[in-house]
Amino acid sequence: MTRYADFHQRSITDREGFWTEQAALVDWHRPFNQVCDYSQPPMARWFVGGEINLCHNAVDRHLAARADQNALIWVSTETDEERVYSFRELHAEVQRMAAVLNELGVRKGDRVLIYMPMIPEAAFAMLACVRIGAIHSVVFGGFASGSLANRIDDAVPRVIVSADAGSRGGKVIPYKPLLDEAIRLAEHKPSRVLIVDRGLAPASRVEGRDEDYATCRQRHLDAQVPCTWVDATHPSYTLYTSGTTGKPKGVQRDTGGYAVALAASMKHIYQGNAGETYFSTSDIGWVVGHSYIIYGPLIAGMATLMYEGLPVRPDAGIWWQLVEKYKVTVMFTAPTAVRVLKKHDPAHLTAHDLSSLRSLFLAGEPLDEPTARWIADAIGKPVIDNYWQTETGWPILSIANGVEPAAGKFGSPGMAMYGYDVKLLDENTGAELTGANQKGVIAIEGPLPPGCMQTVWRDDARFVNTYWKTVPGRLVYSTFDWGVRDEEGYYYILGRTDDVINVAGHRLGTREIEEAISGHAAVAEVAVVGVADAVKGQVALAFVVLKDPALAGTKEGAAGLEADVMKTVDQQLGSLARPARVRFVTALPKTRSGKLLRRAIQAVCERRDPGDLTTMEDPTALQQIRDQLDVA
C-alpha cells in the first residue's frame, strides 16, 4: 500500500506525473498537452490544451454502465415530496433544460444566474449550463434583493433561472418578488427570466421577459443537446463569497482542473464508489453544494441525495431515516447541524439502520472535540473532519483514507491533502514555522492545485492582492486562518486571523476560547467574539446555548454557571483567555446553512449595524444578544 506521506510528497515534487495520473479518472475529448502552466504566478492554468465537459463526466459517461441506477434523489420534508431520477432520466431532464436555455439565447461563455431553492430543477440548470459551455452563478435562495442585485451586476447574466418560492420550516419564502426587486435595482437587466412554478406562492410575470419552465420544457421533451466541449481552463462557474469590502467577490472556477480534483477527492478522501449513495446536507448556494451535492458524487457514478428541509423536521431522526431508506454510504454535514441534533432526543440516532454508512464527514466551520466525540459515539461511525474554503473547492486538510487508512484526531481536521503545499508562517516576518505546536498563519505555496479558484471574476488584481500579498515578503496564498501542527502533521484550526482578539497586548484566537467552553458539560453551543474595550483594546464575550436552558433560568443560576464556565477556561487556557462576560441565550445567529454570524454578533456588541441579515435562520437570535448585553 502507498504511504500517504509519499503520495503527498509526490504531488508536490512531481506535479506533472501525479496529476497526469489523476486526470485519467475523467473523460477527455482532447488530451491536454501541458499539465500546469505557472509561467505567470500566482495564476495557474491546469491541463492546458485539453478539452472536456463537466456534464459529460457527471452524467453522459455513466449511461453505458448504469443508465437505470439512481443518480439524483430529491427529498423535501417541506412539501412532503420525493423524486428519484436514474442517470437516463437525469440525462433527459438536463437536455430539456439545456434546450430551454438555448431557446432563451444562452450560448457558450454566457452567464446564467441561478436563484433557486433545493429542488431538482436547480440541479438540472447547473448541469445544463456546463453542458452547453455557459457559466452558472448560483446565489443562495432567498438572498436579499440588494445583495442579489450586486451579484447580477457583477455576473452580468443573460438569463436568470428562479422559482416562485422556497420553504423553510414549513414557512413559504416567496422568491419572485425578491428577484423582481433585485432586477429593478440592478444596472444590468437580464434578457430573460425562467421561473419554475411550484405552486407555493403567487408569481406575477413580466411580459416579454419571464417564461414558465413547465411550458418551455413541454416544447423540448425529446431534446437532444450535445455536450459543448470546452478548454480545460474555460470557467465552469462563479460563486460569490464575502470579502472585506461591500463588493461581492466572485470565485471563478475552471472546468478541467475542477473535474479532476473532484474525481480524485471522491476516490482518495471520501471513498465513494459508483452505484452507492452520497448524502450532503448542504445547499447549492454554497460551495459544498456545488462540489459534493452536484458534481463530485455524479462524476463518481454515485447517486446524490438532495434534501430540502430542516434536520429536525418532522423529527430529529429524518436524516438517519434517509440514510436507512437509500442506503447512504457517505454523508457530509456541518458541525452546527450536529450541535442542533445534540439538543434533541438521542434515541433518534439509533432508531434507524445505519449499517450502510461508512463515514460521516464534517466541514464548514471548526469542529470542536466534544461535538465530534458525541456524534461518533452516538452513531458508531468514523467521523472525519475536513477543512477547506469556497476558494479551494475541495479539502485542504483531511484524512485520505483512500490512499492509506489513518486515524483521525478529535479537534483536528487532519493533515495536508495531496496537491496542497501547506505552510505555517509567521504573520510578521513570513518565516516558515517548522516546529511542532507553533502558531502561525496557514498558507499554501503556489501553484494552487487543480480545482481551486482561477481568479476573482473580472478582477485579477483583487485575486492577487487579496489572497497572495498578505504575508510579508512572500507570494503565498493565505487562508486567513490561524493554525498549529503537531508532531505527526495534524493541523488544528485556531480561528480566522481577523478574529484574533488583542487583549492588553496579548493575542488570543476566539476559536481557542470556544473550544475550551465547549468542553463544559452543560454547554451545547458557543460563540466567542472580540469586542472593543476602552481599557484593554478588546475583550472576549461568550454567548452560550445550554443543553438545559433551565440551568440559567434564575439570576443566581446564571451567575453560578457563568463563574463555572470561566473556571473551565482558566483551567484549560489560563486566566488571560477568560471571557469578560458569559451570557446565556437559546439560539445563536446563523445562516440557513448553519454558519455562525460572528461578525454580526460583534457588531451588535459594539452597537454597530450588523449589516445584511437576509440569510439568518432565526431573526430573534440577535435580539437575544442585544438583551443580554444590558444584563448586569
**Cα separation of 193 and 9, whole Å?**
49
CA geometry: angle at 552 spanning 550 and 557, to 5°? 115
Domain CATH number, residue 550:
3.30.300.30
pLDDT given for residue 497 in this prediction: 74
Chain position carrying cell 452567464: 111
3-state secondary structure of 186: coil
Are 125 and 238 within one domain?
yes
Q: How far lies 171's CA from each of 120, 155, 203, in Å?
A: 20, 30, 17
Task: State the pLDDT confidence band at 214, using cuts at 50, 70 and 90.
Answer: very high
Task: Indicate whether 329 belongs to any domain.
Answer: no
3-state secondary structure of 307: strand
Task: Indicate whether 344 belongs to any domain.
Answer: no
Between 145-155 and 176-185, two packed helices, what is the crossing angle to 10 degrees?
Answer: 60
State percent of the chain over pLDDT 70.
97
Task: State the pLDDT confidence band at 347, using cuts at 50, 70 and 90.
Answer: very high
Out of 429, 446, 479, a domain closes at 479
Task: State the pLDDT confidence band at 541, using cuts at 50, 70 and 90.
Answer: very high
Are 573 and 525 within one domain?
yes
Q: Which helix (H) or strand (E) holds 303?
A: strand 303-308
Out of 462, 479, 496, a domain closes at 479
Q: Which of 381, 383, 389 is nearest to 410 (CA)?
A: 383
Are 403 and 519 within one domain?
no
pLDDT given for residue 522 in this prediction: 94
Backbone φ, ψ for residue 347 (5° rounding): -60, -25
Task: Indicate whether 492 belongs to any domain.
Answer: no
Beta bridge partners of residue 196, listed in sequence order: 163
Structural contact between residues 396 and 444, judged by C-beta atoms closer than 8 angstroms? yes
Which residues are within 8 A (CB) of 451 and not within 5 positions of it... i.e. 6 or more apart? Answer: 253, 257, 258, 260, 261, 262, 265, 392, 393, 394
Domain CATH number, residue 240:
3.40.50.12780
pLDDT given for residue 505 in this prediction: 60
Span 287-342, pLDDT tens digits: 999 999 999 999 999 999 999 999 999 999 999 999 999 999 999 998 888 988 98
**Cα separation of 612 and 458, whole Å?**
24
Torsion of CA 85, 88, 93, 96, to 10 degrees: -170
User: How confident is the prediction for the chain on average, in pLDDT?
Assistant: 93
Are 397 and 533 within one domain?
no
pLDDT given for residue 610 in this prediction: 82
pLDDT given for residue 512 in this prediction: 79
Are 178 and 261 within one domain?
yes
Chain position carrying cell 459543448: 228
Domain ranges, residue 461? 4-309+386-479
pLDDT given for residue 364 in this prediction: 80
Beta-strand (E) ranges in 323-363? Answer: 328-333, 359-362
Are 92 and 49 within one domain?
yes
pLDDT given for residue 246 in this prediction: 55
pLDDT given for residue 442 in this prediction: 97
HSE, side-chain direction, 13 A CA sphere, residue 29? 18
Task: Indicate whether 163 belongs to any domain.
Answer: yes
Q: Which three cell numbers stand for residue 396?
A: 485542504
3-state secondary structure of 523: strand
Are 471 and 564 within one domain?
no
HSE, side-chain direction, 13 A CA sphere, residue 294? 30
Task: Indicate whether 357 belongs to any domain.
Answer: no
Span 151-177, pLDDT tens digits: 999 999 999 999 999 999 999 999 999
Predicted TM-score (pTM) of the model is 0.87
State percent of the chain over pLDDT 90.
77
Bridging pattern class, strands 165-168 and 171-174 = antiparallel
- The DSSP code sequence of 375-420 is HHHHHTS-EEE-B--TTTSS-SEE--TTTS-----TT--BEEPTT-
Span 480-505, pLDDT tens digits: 999 999 999 999 998 777 666 767 66
Task: Indicate whether 345 belongs to any domain.
Answer: no
Q: In this structure, is the dihedral angle defined by the CA atoms of residues 509, 510, 514 and 517, taken in order, positive or negative?
A: positive
Are 568 and 434 within one domain?
no
**Total structural domains in the chain?**
2
pLDDT given for residue 96 in this prediction: 98
Neighbour count for residue 57 (Cβ, 10 Å): 27
Are 460 and 548 within one domain?
no
pLDDT given for residue 628 in this prediction: 85
Class of residue 448 by CB neighbours under 10 A (exposed 0-12, middle 13-18, buried 19+): buried
Q: Check whether the bond before 314 is cis (ω within 30° of 0).
A: yes
HSE, side-chain direction, 13 A CA sphere, residue 118? 32
The mean per-residue pLDDT over the stretch 349-364 comes to 94
pLDDT given for residue 498 in this prediction: 67
Q: Is the pLDDT of residue 244 over 80?
A: no
- The DSSP code sequence of 10-70 is HHHH-HHHHHHHHHTTS--SB--SEEEEEEETTEEEEEET-EE-HHHHHTGGGHHHHTTSE
Are 474 and 576 within one domain?
no
**Cα separation of 433 and 487, whole Å?**
13
Are 396 and 449 within one domain?
yes
Task: Indicate whether 379 belongs to any domain.
Answer: no
pLDDT given for residue 342 in this prediction: 87
Torsion of CA 414, 415, 421, 425, to 10 degrees: 80
Backbone φ, ψ for residue 601 (5° rounding): -60, -45
Q: Is the pLDDT of residue 567 over 70?
A: yes
Q: Which three cell numbers stand for residue 101?
A: 436555455
Backbone φ, ψ for residue 344 (5° rounding): -115, 170
Neighbour count for residue 321 (Cβ, 10 Å): 17
pLDDT given for residue 369 in this prediction: 85
pLDDT given for residue 325 in this prediction: 98
Structural contact between residues 155 and 457, judged by C-beta atoms closer than 8 angstroms? yes
Span 583-630, pLDDT tens digits: 999 999 987 767 788 888 988 898 888 877 766 777 788 888 888 887
Task: Indicate whether 528 belongs to any domain.
Answer: yes
Are 455 and 573 within one domain?
no
